[in-house]
Amino acid sequence: MLDYIPYGGEWLKEFIQGGGEMGPATLSNFYAIHTAVLPISLLLFMGFHFWRVRKARGVVVPHRPDEILEGGGESVPSIPNLLLREVTVALVVIAFILVFSIFFDAPLESKANPGLSPNPTKAPWYFMGFQELLLHFHPMFSLFVIPFCMGLWLLAIPYRYYRVDTGGIWLASYKGRRMALMAVLFAVVTTVGGILLDEYVTGFFTWIPDLPAYMANGLIPFSVTLGLILGFNIYVKRFYSANLNETVQTVAILLLTAFVTLTAIGIWFRGTGMKLVWPWGV
């Protein structure tokens, strides 16, 4: 995956592997990443998160759902109001995982054989969305360009100027809820339709064989996908006369639904040779 990052990809790959090939150094590096780097990074991001909450002057708790349309609501301190809720959710999740692990085993499979890869070879579920993207986009786009653009867009959300303060309420407004439902339906239909089209009809390589791979299977389908997202955003914004809060929320739900759909298809609907199959074997 790191090979396709422009300029520094090869260096990153060797750094993570601890050399030119996978070996004991690779295991040591990944062990250090999971036990030290990731926890420290989470703590730093938590500090940034709480700083952002304090900068926003606490958490907004609307008295009525319609108050969000008027920018109303009562501002309360983030401690204990926000902190108590986050700690409660964390404890509930931990308790659920403990109870789940008691009643459901996670047995190890047979030892890995370096000379024999399983068919299909699937990534862990949290990477299946990216593996599904790899089947339809050039690796540089599926592993670098698309995640990079989505990451930049997500990081920019808190810094946009919003005329209506919707902090503390889900789905922004009644109108925002209808837009969210439309985003879910649009994402599922277009994602499934695009996968079926690419799987059973033809790909861009067949249509335009003389173009370089990064354009025929990368830039062109990426531009089409981006155009669909922008077109949907413009349509719902005009149809519902939506404000910035509602349109940003709609795009976020659209992207999340599309990625969840890709993940679900990769987990349950990919069989031998990564061909589409029914999960129940029909």
Check pLDDT > 60 for residue 192. yes
Cβ(133)–Cβ(1) under 8 Å? no
The C-alpha atoms of residue 15 and residue 237 are separated, in whole angstroms, by 45
Mean pLDDT score of the chain, rounded to an integer? 83
- More reliable by pLDDT, 50 or 95: 95
Tell me the C-alpha distance between 282 and 275, whole Å. 14
**Total domains present in the chain:** 1
* Arithmetic mean of pLDDT, 95-117: 84
Is 45 part of any domain? no
| pLDDT tens sequence across 120-152 | 888 888 899 999 999 989 888 988 899 999 999
Distances from the Cα of 227 to the Cαs of 179, 220, 224, 231, 280, in angstroms?
18, 11, 5, 6, 35
Pick the range with the lowest mean pLDDT from 16-25, 120-129, 136-145, 230-239.
Answer: 16-25
CA dihedral 145, 146, 147, 152 (to 10 degrees): 80
Indicate the range of 12-21, 74-83, 116-125, 188-197 predicted with least confidence: 74-83
| pTM for this entry | 0.76
Asked if pLDDT for residue 65 goes beyond 60, the answer is: no
Q: For residue 168, give the amino acid letter.
A: G
Name the residue range of residue 208's domain.
120-282
Nearest Cα residue to 264 out of 184, 181, 197, 191: 191
Q: Considering just the CA atoms, what is the radius of gyration of the chain in Å?
A: 22
153-178 confidence digits (pLDDT tens): 998 987 887 777 665 566 767 788 89
Element (H, E) at 230: helix 220-240
In a domain, 184, yes or no: yes
Residue 6 has pLDDT above 60, yes or no: yes
Convert 184-202 to b/e letters by CB count within 10 Å (16 or more is b): bebbbebbbebbeebeeee
Q: Which amino acid is located at 191 in the chain?
A: T
Q: At what angle do helices 174-196 and 220-240 cross, to 10 degrees?
A: 150
User: Stretch 185-214: mean pLDDT, rounded?
Assistant: 81
d(CA 185, CA 115): 43
Alpha-carbon span 273 to 262, nearest angstrom: 17
**Minimal CA–CA distance to 32: which of 52, 46, 18, 21?**
18
- Domain-located, residue 31: no
Say if strands 59-61 and 74-76 run parallel, antiparallel, or are unpaired. antiparallel
How far is residue 132's CA from residue 274's CA, in Å, rounded to a whole number?
9
Let me know if residue 43 belongs to a domain. no
Is residue 258 included in any domain, yes or no?
Answer: yes
Q: How many other CB atoms are there within 10 angstroms of residue 172's CB atom?
A: 24
* pLDDT at residue 68, as a whole number: 47
In a domain, 139, yes or no: yes
Residue 138 lies in a domain: yes
The strand pairing partners of 75, in sequence order, are 60
3 occurs within a structural domain: no
Average pLDDT over residues 19-37: 85
What percent of the chain stands above pLDDT 70? Answer: 85
